[in-house]
Structure 1
Amino acid sequence: MAEPLDDAHARPDGASDELVAAVGKLSEAFERIERARGALYEAHQLIGGADGMLDDVIEGLRTTGHADWAERIETELVGRNVLPGRWTFQVVEEFDDGYFRTWQDIERGVRDATMKGRRHVFEAEMKRRRITPGGPAQDPTP
């Protein structure tokens, strides 16, 4: 094991390679959940934006003699739930308060219990191993 980059990323005493790898994998998995959360918020904003555009669509259809289509859009799309009983703001709130919060709590709890709360211990050790001493832009810390 190489010398740690800094105290914030040092392997706790007694932590095995296998434990560091497992905690690193859990953190990586949680990073994917965070990316999925971002995609969910992106969908929320895209769907809300599209719904907001429908007012102009309805007006344009009505003024050009297509009141039947305007009525159908107004009746079937404007205000429509994306899931039974839910708009996207409710979906993201439920996701955040349930699934995401559970992931967040467990990932932090495991790090607190096994790595003294330190983040990216696995990656910090990989960085230390991969540095070429004196190589360009390969300083261990800022």
Structure 2
Amino acid sequence: MTEARLDDENPEADRYDRATVQAVGKLTEALETLEVARGHLYQFHRMTGTTDFAVGEAVELLRKAGHDELADRIARELVGRNVLPGRWTFQVVEDFDDTYYQPFRAFERQARELTGGRRHLFEAELKRQRRSRGVAGHEATPDERVG
């Protein structure tokens, strides 16, 4: 798939009706927000695993300090404990990916077919409208040289 190329003389967004470009852009915006949420979910997964291993180390330190009863209870009741009924975080991540994330991505890809499969067409149009032509730092593409 090609990246959005800006052509000030023949803007690609003009090939599609504005309402469609806006709608697809909004769905892509929602996907970007979901990507951030998914990143937080993976961060939660990683941090929970790191926490579990740290608790295991704390158990060993409690034992070395002579607190065997507390160490045994923590080891039995907390180390390796489910974060949700019947689930560790890897299962939460997998269920999220299969149940929500993958279908969402598929719908966003399908919606982009309405605008030629292009990603970020709405933003490309915004850039075309908002950039200052001929000013350094406002080039349409990496190949365009200013000044």
What is the TM-score when the length of structure 1 is the normalising length? 0.90
Tell me the equivalent position of 1:140: 140
Unaligned runs of 5+ in 2: 143-147
**1:1-142 aligned within 5 A:** 5-6=6-7, 10-11=12-13, 13=15, 15-112=16-113, 114-142=114-142
Mapped contact 1:54–1:78 kept (Cα < 8 A): yes
What's the % identity of the aligned pairs? 50
Q: Which amino acid aligns with 2:116?
A: K
Q: Secondary structure at the match of 1:11?
A: helix
Instruction: Give RMSD over aligned pairs.
Output: 1.5
Mapped contact 1:12–1:115 kept (Cα < 8 A): no
Aligned residue-pair number = 135
Q: Which amino acid aligns with 1:71?
A: D
Q: Deviations over 1:4-53 (max 9, x none)?
A: 605xx82273x211111111011000111111110000000000011011
What is the TM-score when the length of structure 2 is the normalising length? 0.87
Unaligned runs of 5+ in 1: none
Give the distance between the partners of 1:57 and 1:129, measured in 2 at CA: 58
Give the distance between the partners of 1:73 and 1:99, measured in 2 at CA: 35
Structure 1 runs of 4+ aligned residues shifted over 4 Å read none
